[in-house]
Amino acid sequence: MAKNILKRIYIGTINERDPEIFKEIKDFCLTHYNIKFVNLLEKKKFSKKYFKKKIKKYPISFLIVKLYSKNSNEKIYNALNSLAPNIPLLNSIEAVRTCESRKKTFMLMQTRCKEIKIPEFYSTRDEVLAALSSNKKIIIKLDSHNPEHVKKEDRILGIVSNQKEISTILSQYDFDEIFFQEYMGKFDIIYKVYVINNWIVSITSTDRLQGDKHLSPLDLVHLRVSIDEMLKNHILKIGKQFRMSIFGIDYVIKNNVPYIIDINDFPSFRRIPEAVSLISDYMYNLLTLREYAELLKTHIATY
């Protein structure tokens, strides 16, 4: 067997989600590109002391952060900013932090991506009550996008049409824990889009509000579909505005208009078999180009 002559590259990982697909990416990178993933979690928990020790031991060129949504993540973000401010990330800290909260996600989209259609959302009690008085239905979800130990189907708390129904839910949750959004109606199909840099693929997925809410992803039917060029450009703009290279989008079509209903930093890619090689290729090419640019800069400076 030919000896791997590629220079060893180290990528630091703080990963809590989707371990199966992540392991495939790790194995592919090591086999084909001599990229070793360095786990920066100590026994599945973050320790600033352990993190500091690891980044001193390994010449880490890149960081991947993929977290459950929880308040303790601030400790991780602070450590990244203070101890590794010059190590580039696959998705920026700001993107990972924003995507933890549905409110922050949709507020950023509303502010920076005005041409993109999204369902109306409500940030205050007065806005919620005004919507109900206008005979609008509201879908209520947990604001936390990826809470640990909560199934995806259980993150939707209900659909309400009056103040009494709202009060019932608020008796179980604090207002700040909940995301209120205009209910768009029932859809047989939700479209899921996966982005790896400028590569985009779209598949169909069964609406979890339809039928048996406990269907697993393996029970759902997924078909690849084409994506409109304008929508594709809008989605790529979301990546730039959020500072994400790898992400996912969910959207529905109402009256021939696509409405984006969810954004996920670094989704699972379970239904995209080529994702493992594409993500690995993208990271290797990015790191190689960055190294070449640094060498060129050094050469010019010493010329």
CATH number at residue 74: 3.40.50.2300
- The whole-angstrom separation of Cα 15 and Cα 292 is 28
Exposure on the CB side of residue 177, measured as CA atoms within 13 A: 11
Give the residue-averaged pLDDT of 159-183: 94
Q: Which of 33-37, 219-223, 246-250 has the least mean pLDDT?
A: 219-223
Average pLDDT in the chain: 90
Q: Which of 214, 220, 213, 197 is nearest to 271 (CA)?
A: 220
In the predicted structure, residue 208 carries a pLDDT above the cut 60: no
* 194 and 113 assigned to the same domain: yes
| The predicted structure's pLDDT at residue 3 | 47
* 253 and 227 assigned to the same domain: yes
Write out the residue range of the structural domain in which residue 140 sits: 120-183
Q: Indicate yes or no: pTM above 0.95.
A: no
In eight-state DSSP terms, residue 101 is: B
* 82 and 209 assigned to the same domain: no
> By the 8 A CB rule, do 90 and 243 touch?
no
How many domains would you assign to the chain?
3
pLDDT, tens digit, 9 for 90 and up, residues 84-99: 999 999 999 999 999 9
pLDDT, tens digit, 9 for 90 and up, residues 271-282: 899 999 999 999
In this structure, how many other beta carbons lie within 10 angstroms of the beta carbon of residue 260? Answer: 23
In sequence order, the 6+-apart residues with CB closer than 8 A to the CB of 77 are: 93, 96, 97
* 196 and 66 assigned to the same domain: no
In the predicted structure, residue 213 carries a pLDDT above the cut 80: no
- DSSP helix/strand/coil, 24: helix
In eight-state DSSP terms, residue 91 is: B
| The predicted structure's pLDDT at residue 142 | 97
* 134 and 84 assigned to the same domain: no
In the predicted structure, residue 303 carries a pLDDT above the cut 80: no
For residue 128, what are its two tokens? 């919620």
> By the 8 A CB rule, do 219 and 280 touch?
no
